[in-house]
A and B are shown apart, each in its own frame.
Chain A
Amino acid sequence: MINTRRNFVNKLMLGLFSVATFVALVPLFALLGYVIKNGITSLNLDFFTKLPAVMGMSGGGMANAIAGTLILIAIASIIGIPIGILVAIYLTEYDRYSWLSTTVRFTTDVLTGIPSIIIGIVVSMAIVAKTKHFSAFAGGVSLAVIMIPLVIRSTEEMLKLVPHAIREAGYALGISQRRIILNIVLPTAAKGIITGAMLAVARVSGETAPLLFTALGNQYWTHSLFKDPIASLPVQIYTYATSPYDEWHRQAWAGSLVLIAIILCLNLIARFAFRSRSN
């Protein structure tokens, strides 16, 4: 009698967990479905090659926003990835257990939880207010700040997987610590580090909030990375989605499709092409 009740509760709970998992995935498919359905009908060659049309007019594209997103990602990566990898090297190779590395590790974790809009405000005050220009540089810096903790964490995990024996073999041969790190440890972990960096890039390429105050947005081509505001896909999607024009709504869906495609490609390449043996 007791056993039937326990079995029933068991089945009920396990069933609930399965149903919840199903429920959790419904929004994903609903969202992807709508983005693909609405996006594909508005995608054409013009979308990739033309500037946005005048307000409310049909036609036009998001060429400048696509290029802008790529430029912003490039700036962010140039700043964020090296810094992130260097910090991770410090945390794994030089100083794993001291109070300083614990503090850095903890700060890194906390930094990932700071809302991106706050980073937008701070970078805007530090760069935009000082230079008097919204710029690709300011936008890139704000994305870099978001990237750094992500790169640190993923690189650190990968460096930790490199067996100690490899380092010790290097020392036994009399190789200097720098060469062991640069020529042995980093290449061993390279695939994993690249994976982590690409996931970080994918993560920031959809960021909108920090760009609102730093890169701003632009209906035209940008001529200076330091003096002109620059368009980006996420900000353009936001502007179009909240506008009253049907044509712009269609463009917003198409933009979303392109943005998701970029992010998805980065994710898939990171996961499958550079998958390290340990995963």
Chain B
Amino acid sequence: MSTDNNRLYESMGDKVLRYVTLLMAILVVILMIWIGWQMFSSSQESIQHFGWAFITSRVWDPVHHIFGALPFIYGTIVTSVVALIIAAPIGISVAIFLNEMAPSTIRKVVAFLVELLAAIPSVVYGLWGIFVLAPVLRQSVEPWLTKWFGFIPWFKGAPVGFDMFGGGIILAIMILPTITSISREVMAAVPTAHREAALALGATKWEMIRLSVLSYSKSGILGSIMLGLGRALGETMAVTMVIGNMPKISSSLFSSAYSMAAVIANEFTEATYSLYLSSCIEIGLILFGITLLLNIFARLLVWSVARGPKGGHLV
């Protein structure tokens, strides 16, 4: 009798744990859908009031109840692209260095330092940006670029330091660890036999890297760049602190601007009427939509490489 009770109790316990974990797993999916739904439903007022003009209008004027998101979208995209141009080649180089070149002691130390870069809070990057990076840019880097490359519209104008260029550089530092760690992950998935095959055919190390490693992992590397881009687009504090926070559109990188995340950070709690709040949330919705699509696509790319082609059932 008592063993029967025991068994009953055990099988009850089995079911409870199973269903609790199942419930939590489903909860994660619901959480994701709920986040999207919240953003969508809360921005309805602004969507209905402005329609598509919200995305194309340059005017952001809370006093007169007029809201357009274009300057913020522009600032976000330009800073993120600058960040990618700087961080992608360097980040992938670091991944190659760590995976293919470095002896194991150096690899451990450098990998740890790169992870440290990812561990530093964004607000500290912002602080450093305000008091160290921006003055350096204003006094030396930007005047130098204007002097030699001023014929390109990007590098025209009076240097202020708090501008899209500074925002892009800060972002580049912040997304580099993302690009490096995920590129490393996909490069590590390249079978050693491919490397040996290239070397056996007389390839130099660089040729081996190019022919075996890079060509095998290129879609995963692309995925890592897109994940870096996703991080750059949504990064808030550091950009808010160095971009200058002026909603304008300029072809010069040395011009103050504003980003989507920054305007939300600055104005969300100050939005005094519902259309204003709804407009802030709609900017959030756009940001959410872009990063969501980017992440879905990038994850599919990384999964397809790092987990083998179909099914991915190898454990």
Contact = CB atoms under 8 A, between A and B. Distances in A.
B90 A124 contact: no
B127 A107 contact: no
Nearest to A91: B25
B222 to A, nearest CB: 15
A222 interface: no
A263 B119 contact: yes
Interface of B: 10-11, 13-14, 16-18, 20-22, 24-29, 31-32, 34-35, 38-39, 42, 89-91, 93-94, 96-98, 101, 110, 112-117, 119-128, 130-132, 173, 176, 180, 204-207, 209, 227, 230-231, 233-237, 241, 261, 264-265, 268-269, 280-281, 284, 287-288, 291-292, 294-296, 298-299, 303, 311, 313, 315
In this complex, the member of A90, A94, A116, A181 whose beta carbon has the largest number of chain B beta carbons within 10 angstroms is A90
Given A87-B24, A117-B261, A118-B287, A34 B176 contact: no
A158 to B, nearest CB: 13
Interface residues of A, number: 90
A51 interface: no
A94 B121 contact: no
A175 B237 CA distance: 51
Interface of A: 6-7, 9-10, 13-14, 16-18, 20-21, 23-25, 27-28, 30-31, 34-35, 38, 83, 86-87, 89-91, 93-97, 100-101, 103-104, 106-111, 113-119, 121-122, 124-126, 145, 148-149, 152, 160, 176-179, 181-182, 202-203, 205-209, 212-213, 216, 234, 237-238, 241-242, 249, 252-253, 256, 259-260, 263-264, 267, 271
Contacts of A116: 234, 236
Main secondary structure of the interface of B (DSSP, over half): helix
A111 B28 contact: yes
B293 to A, nearest CB: 10
Given A83-B27, A114-B234, A241-B241, A24 B176 contact: yes
A263 B29 CA distance: 29
Contact of B205 (A10, A23, A89): A10
Nearest to A161: B315
Contacts of B264: 117, 121
A117 B265 contact: yes
Nearest to A121: B284
Given A31-B128, A114-B288, A176-B14, A94 B21 contact: yes
Given A110-B32, A113-B291, A178-B13, A34 B97 contact: no
In this complex, the member of A107, A124, A148, A263 whose beta carbon has the largest number of chain B beta carbons within 10 angstroms is A107
